[in-house]
Amino acid sequence: VVGIDMRDWNPEERADILVSELLGSFGDNELSPECLDGAQRFLKPETGVSIPQDYTSFVVPIQSSRIWVQAHGDLANARKNLETPYVVKIHSAWNLAAESKACFTFEHPDASAEDPKRRALKNTRFQKIEFVSEKDATMHGIGGYFEATLLVM
C-alpha cells in the first residue's frame, strides 16, 4: 500500500499486481477507468496484472413505486431529487425489459491507454440503448449495476 497521489509517485521498480477498489456502484463512477489507465504505468510490461481485469456496466428500465415515492416525496426539491442518481439495493422494483443490456466495458491493463489521445477517446462515455417494454407500465428510472472479472489465471 502506497499512501501518495499516484501522479506524484515514482517507484523504484514496477509492480507485479495492481489492485483497485475504485469501481463505485456502476463500475465507472469513481473515475476508475481513468485512474487505472494512469496507474498501469506502474505495472511490469507483459506480466503485470490488474485486479479487476475488466468490468461491464449494465442498465435496465425499472418501475419502483417505493423509490419513486421516496424521491418525489419532498415536493420543494422534487425536480432535483428526480434528476439525482440513487445508490440503492434494488429489491422492490420490476424490470420493464426482458433483460439488462451492457452499457460500458473497460479492460486493464489496456495497451491503448499508453497513448493519451486514445485514452481520452476510449474513456468518453456516451451510449444509446433501446429497450422494448414487455407490458404497459410507468418507467420510474433506470436500474444499473456492473459485473467484474477480478482475475483470470
User: Active-site residue numbers?
Assistant: 21, 30
**Angle made by CA atoms 9, 14, 18, in degrees to the nearest 5:** 80
Neighbours of 16 (CB within 10 A): 10
Question: Residue 126: phi, psi to the nearest 5?
Answer: -150, 135
Is 134:58 a contact under the CB 8 Å cutoff?
A: no
Question: What nine digits make up the cell of 50?
Answer: 490488474
Q: Would you mind telling me the total number of residues written for the chain in this entry? A: 153
